Structures are given as C-alpha cells and as structure tokens.
Amino acid sequence: MKPIKRKNTVPIPKDIFLEIFVKLPPKPLLRFKCVSKHWCSIIEDSELVDAFRNRPCNRGTNLLVRRKCTQEEETIEGRRKFNDFFLLDSEGKFAHLEVPIILQEKFFSNDDGEWQHVEGLVHRKNIIWNPTTRKVVHLPPRNPFWDVSKVIENMGIVAGCDNWSVSSKYFLGFDVSIKKHKVLCICRMDFRMNTISDDYIENSDIHKSQVSIEVLTLGANCWKKTTSDYPLPKELFEDFHVKTYCSINGVIYMIICPPCKRFQLPRRRSDQNDTILAYDITHEKFQLLPLPRGIGGMVHFVGDLRGRLTLMQQKHKQIWILEEDYGGPRWTVVDLLLPELWYTREISLREKIVKPIGLNPSGEIFFEVKEFSLNIKESSLSTIYVYNMESKDTRKVRFLTRMKNFFGSIFPNLVATIQPLK
C-alpha cells in the first residue's frame, strides 16, 4: 500500500482521528490499538469511548438474547453449556456471541432477574462482561470488616454468637455526571447464634449486623466507602433479598423483599411486599420508594421507559411508570392493548403464560408467550413478541418464535462500547 504523500507535513490533529475512529466498527478499532502508542492512547481515551457509545447508529434496536441451556447435551469445548447469548441487530442479522467461559459456570444459571445490562456492559453477580470487546472482569469479594475483633468490640456482641458471615451484593450503574460506570456494593456482616429448638431443628438467627456501602468506579480499581450525608433507610440494615434491579439515568433501582427464613414456609403471596430501594450514584444517596397501589405488592419486571422507572406484573395488562417531579415521586399507570389470543387457552394446551421480559427505552415491551402442552413430557414452546406502546401493535420477533424450553432474558437496546474494564 502506498503511503499517503501529503503536501504539508502538518500532523493530523487528534480531533480528526476521533472523527474517523468513531465511525469504525469495534473489531478494527480494537485491532488498531497495535498500530502505535499514539493510536492506542486515542482509542483508550474516555473521549472516544464516550463518543463511540453515543453514536446515533448505536442507539438502535440491538437485542441481546440470553437463553438458558436446559439440555444435558449442550456442551462447549466439552463442558456443559448453561447460557447461550445471541445478538439480533437492527438489520435483522442474527449472530451467536462468544460467551466468556466464566459465564458458563452453573453458578450463573439461575435467577433470570439478576442479569442486567447498563450502557453496554452486562452484569451478573460479581462478573461484568463487555460483549463488544469480549472482556470480562471479576469483582473481588469485599470484606470491609477485616478487623472482626474491632467490629465485635464496637457492636457489643452477646455471648453465644458463634459464627459470622460476610456477603456482598453488587449493582452496576452509570454515573451520568462523569460518564463512568460504577459498581455499588452493599456488604453485610451478620453475626449469628445457632440454637436448637424443641423440635431439634437448628435455627440460625441473625443477632446483629453491620452494613457497609462501597462504590467502585470501573477502571479506577479502588473502592470508595460512602459516607452518607443523608440518613440511611433502616431497611438497608435488615437482611433483604434482591429480586431484580435496573439502572436508569444515574440511579440504581433495586426491588427488595424480606428473605424467607430457612426452614420456614414461604410467606403467603399477599404478605409479600416488595419495596424499591433507590441509590443515586452521583449524589450517593439512598431513598425508599413505595410501590404503586394496584400492583398487588409484587413486582415481576423493571425497566427503563424513556428514562423512567417502569414496573410490570405478570398477570396485569398494565405498566406503572414512575414520574418524579416537584411534588415528589408519583406513579402513572398505562393500559396495554395486548392480543386477546394470549389469554385464551386452547384445548390442546395445558396453559399459556405471558411474561414481560424486556423493555426498550424507546417504548417497546418484549413479552414471552410460553405454551405448555397437555403432554408433560413435551417441551414448552415460547415465542417472543414486541409490543409498541405508541402504535399499540404487537408483532413476533424474528428468530425468536416457537423456541423449545426457553428460559432467559432479553436486553433490548444493547449498546456497543469499547469501554475498558480495568
């Protein structure tokens, strides 16, 4: 290839490189890091990372589909495969994504609600994955309570507490003010007393707990303990289970509920009361938000609709949208005109289940309609539909019709990003 003979030897300004690089697809862009140190620094620069992520063509309808592999025979390199990822792009192309081996661990095969996508990065438990660069980072386990003896001293633990445990919950968010991904870690140390009751059943009551909140800025490699200027809600100090969460406009919304105690019968449906714990990443502030009345205490799905928190429940043909204005937070409800066909049971089927599984901020809701045949041995068949809120139309999603034994999730509006993870 002939070198470009330029008339004057003015070096090409960085701005021009940014304009050219931002128009490249991710693969050559990452490859060209090797061209020279100068090119490498421009490509890794946050200015390009931000511009790349905000490309107009990026905010389209790239769907990331996760399918749980339920068959024993599905293997990859000899190991049992638990998760399959596909990318369905706006041009209708369907491609298999290479999944990092770590995400194929059985550990990651449960709890559909806990996979999240935030500005191009996918999060699950303590793993953050960038599908564009195919890189993965493990968040190290946190133990901010390293000096256990000091903790015991400060808390005045009662004799009899013979074991303690530390657990961390991670949440991925995006700080819109500094345009960086941040990870929130709610870490708790529980002191327990094991008792044997009259029925000889071992109970493990949490006697006292300590909670620590830390935030990691991705790429900065250091955890910052948040010192809150605002009082922390007391729910934060009780043990809670996180059903699902989502990150919208710099706020992490977590749907939490009290855990079922071990060996106790699960609570009745009507007793279950989910709450929303919201964390504002920029202002480092926690807030509790009430659920809308009418949702019946349980939330099945949360998502981002045009920048607003949106809740859905499986049985209802409605969505609840959170509006935050000067009067404070309030909920509005929108009825959905879903096809009647989804709710009429055919004679040949045992039952049909309609589940919301994805929400595109531009106003599209993805539903899975799962049909169970009368013959229990037969696989269930799922079809994914997309409902457009404006036109109130429903249509099938190509490639995602009549799938056998589909358990998974959809991330609409997957954004390509070359964000480095370390």
Name the site residues for other proteins (rule: CB under 8 A): 1-7, 10, 12-13, 15-16, 19-21, 23-25, 27-28, 30-40, 98, 133-134
Q: Which two tokens stand for residue 140?
A: 């190290």
Cα–Cα dist 344/10, whole Å: 71
Exposure letters 362-371 (e unless 16+ CB within 10 A, then b): bebbbbbbbb
Residue number with CB closer to other proteins (25 or 231): 25
Residue number with CB closer to other proteins (35 or 148): 35
Torsion angle (degrees, nearest 10) of CA 400, 402, 408, 414: 10
Cα–Cα dist 340/14, whole Å: 57
Minimum gap (Å) between residue 139 Cβ and other proteins: 20
Minimum gap (Å) between residue 39 Cβ and other proteins: 7
Residue number with CB closer to other proteins (32 or 342): 32
Residue number with CB closer to other proteins (27 or 315): 27
Minimum gap (Å) between residue 20 Cβ and other proteins: 5
Minimum gap (Å) between residue 132 Cβ and other proteins: 11
Residue number with CB closer to other proteins (5 or 377): 5
Torsion angle (degrees, nearest 10) of CA 171, 175, 181, 183: -30
Closest CA to 123 of 168, 69, 164, 183: 183
Please answer whether residues 73 and 416 qualify as being in contact, where contact means their C-beta atoms are separated by less than 8 angstroms: no
Minimum gap (Å) between residue 69 Cβ and other proteins: 22
Radius of gyration of the chain (CA): 24
Characterize the bridge pairing of strands 349-360 and 328-335: unpaired
Minimum gap (Å) between residue 32 Cβ and other proteins: 6
Residue number with CB closer to other proteins (24 or 152): 24
Q: Which two tokens stand for residue 417?
A: 């990003």
Minimum gap (Å) between residue 23 Cβ and other proteins: 4
Instruction: Give the DSSP H or E segment for 29.
Output: helix 26-31
Which residues face 355 on adjacent strands?
A: 368
CA 200 to chain CA mean position, Å = 40
Which residues face 54 on adjacent strands?
A: none
Residue number with CB closer to other proteins (36 or 46): 36
Please answer whether residues 79 and 104 qualify as being in contact, where contact means their C-beta atoms are separated by less than 8 angstroms: yes
Residue number with CB closer to other proteins (138 or 392): 138
Minimum gap (Å) between residue 135 Cβ and other proteins: 8
Q: Which residue matches tokens 């609600």?
A: 113
